[in-house]
């Protein structure tokens, strides 16, 4: 019995390890080629360099695209967090007719194929005569981020005791005051975590942005356009690595906030 138990976990552990290696090898290779002094991404390595990271700082279009991604992610995460939290409050603190329909509507973007969502928004903006821009990308990102915010904040709202709110109202606070002074402070960590998730969703997003970005694109769209130019690849990888680090830090921060909440 003990012998068999000892053998089984190591088999599963080995499987886990193989998967981890497969997941990390391509990323480590990118990291390697971002500091290799060769424009072609081939072995043997030619030696350590920081020239690609320096080149990033001298490529205006690239920095502009990175800035655009930051702006769109920040804006859409703000709007999505507000709208998602409102929907979450409705979901857990009110009962009304059509509630299930509203909630279904709010999570549905999660399961509508992005290509469908992208082209339908393209149709809308074209029909309204609006040019494609960072705004149109940002609007699309709010729609796909709201479900995540909703699910994260609802989870927090269902955890804490409604008696706290009743107590506040018994003590004479009106409902908006109760929301502001009691509910919001309690769900704030969940909202922050949700905001960071919304940020990361937007920051990386490509399938929607390809349809909706104008001539001044976000980073993934810019990156896609540059993939044709093989000699610029190391610069792209260098910036992508830097942006990956940012996403990673944000994601870890979100996870920490969610756990502390």
Reduced to 3 states (helix: H, G, I; strand: E, B; else coil), residue 48 is strand
Q: Does 77 bind other proteins (CB under 8 A)?
A: no
Q: Does 44 bind other proteins (CB under 8 A)?
A: yes
String marking each residue 136-165 x if it binds other proteins according to CB under 8 A: ---xx-xx--x----x--x---x-------
H-helix or E-strand spanning residue 71: helix 60-93
- Binding other proteins (rule: CB under 8 A), the pick from 33, 52, 148, 199 is 33
Here the tokens at position 101 are 């329909």
Long-range CB contacts for residues 182-185, cutoff 8 Å, separation at least 24: 183/89, 183/157
CB of 100: closest distance to other proteins in angstroms? Answer: 7
Nearer to other proteins by Cβ, of 57 and 245: the residue is 245
- Binding other proteins (rule: CB under 8 A), the pick from 55, 83, 186, 253 is 83
Please say whether the dihedral angle defined by the alpha carbons of residues 121, 61, 253 and 248, taken in this order, is positive or negative: positive
* Rounded (5°) CA angle 51-36-226: 70
- Binding other proteins (rule: CB under 8 A), the pick from 179, 182, 186, 253 is 179
- Within 183-212, the residues that bind other proteins by CB under 8 A are 200, 204, 206-207, 210-211
- Nearest Cα residue to 227 out of 115, 219, 37: 219
- Binding other proteins (rule: CB under 8 A), the pick from 49, 133, 226, 247 is 247
> What is the rounded radius of gyration, in angstroms, for the C-alpha atoms of the chain?
23
CB contact at 8 A, 68 and 217 = yes
Stretch that binds other proteins, among 6-14, 48-56, 70-78, 184-192 (CB under 8 A): 6-14
Nearer to other proteins by Cβ, of 23 and 60: the residue is 23
Nearer to other proteins by Cβ, of 68 and 87: the residue is 87
Q: Number of residues interacting with other proteins: please give it, by CB under 8 A.
A: 90
Q: Does 87 bind other proteins (CB under 8 A)?
A: yes
- Within 88-147, the residues that bind other proteins by CB under 8 A are 89-92, 94, 96, 100, 102-109, 111-117, 119-124, 126-127, 139-140, 142-143, 146
CB contact at 8 A, 240 and 55 = no
What is the 3 state secondary structure string of 188-253?
HHHHHHHHHHHHHHHHCCCCCHHHHCCCCCCHHHHHHHHCCCHHHHHHHHHHHHHHHHHHHHHHHH
- Binding other proteins (rule: CB under 8 A), the pick from 71, 74, 86, 188 is 86
Nearer to other proteins by Cβ, of 43 and 54: the residue is 43
Nearer to other proteins by Cβ, of 39 and 49: the residue is 39
């Amino acid at each position: 019995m003990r012998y068999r138990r000892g053998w089984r976990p190591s088999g599963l552990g080995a499987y886990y390890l193989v998967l981890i290696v497969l997941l990390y090898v391509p990323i480590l290779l990118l990291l390697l080629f971002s500091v290799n002094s060769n424009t072609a991404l081939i072995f043997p390595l030619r030696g350590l360099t920081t020239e690609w990271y320096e080149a990033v700082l001298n490529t205006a279009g690239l920095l502009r695209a990175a800035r655009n991604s930051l702006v769109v992610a920040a804006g859409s995460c703000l709007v999505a967090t507000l709208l998602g939290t409102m929907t979450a409050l409705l979901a857990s603190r009110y009962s009304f007719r059509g509630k299930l329909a509203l909630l279904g509507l709010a999570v549905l973007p999660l399961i509508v194929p992005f290509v469908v969502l992208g082209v339908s928004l393209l149709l809308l903006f074209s029909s309204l005569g609006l040019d494609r821009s960072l705004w149109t990308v940002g609007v699309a990102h709010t729609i796909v981020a709201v479900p995540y915010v909703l699910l994260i904040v609802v989870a927090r709202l269902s955890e804490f005791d409604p008696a706290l709110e009743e107590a506040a109202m018994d003590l004479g606070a009106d409902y908006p005051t109760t929301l502001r002074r009691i509910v919001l402070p309690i769900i704030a960590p969940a909202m922050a975590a949700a905001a960071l998730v919304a940020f990361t969703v937007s920051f990386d997003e490509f399938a929607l942005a390809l349809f909706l970005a104008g001539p001044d694109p976000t980073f993934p769209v810019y990156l896609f356009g540059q993939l044709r130019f093989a000699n610029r690849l190391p610069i792209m990888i260098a910036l992508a690595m830097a942006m990956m680090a940012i996403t990673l830090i944000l994601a870890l921060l979100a996870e920490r906030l969610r756990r502390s909440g």
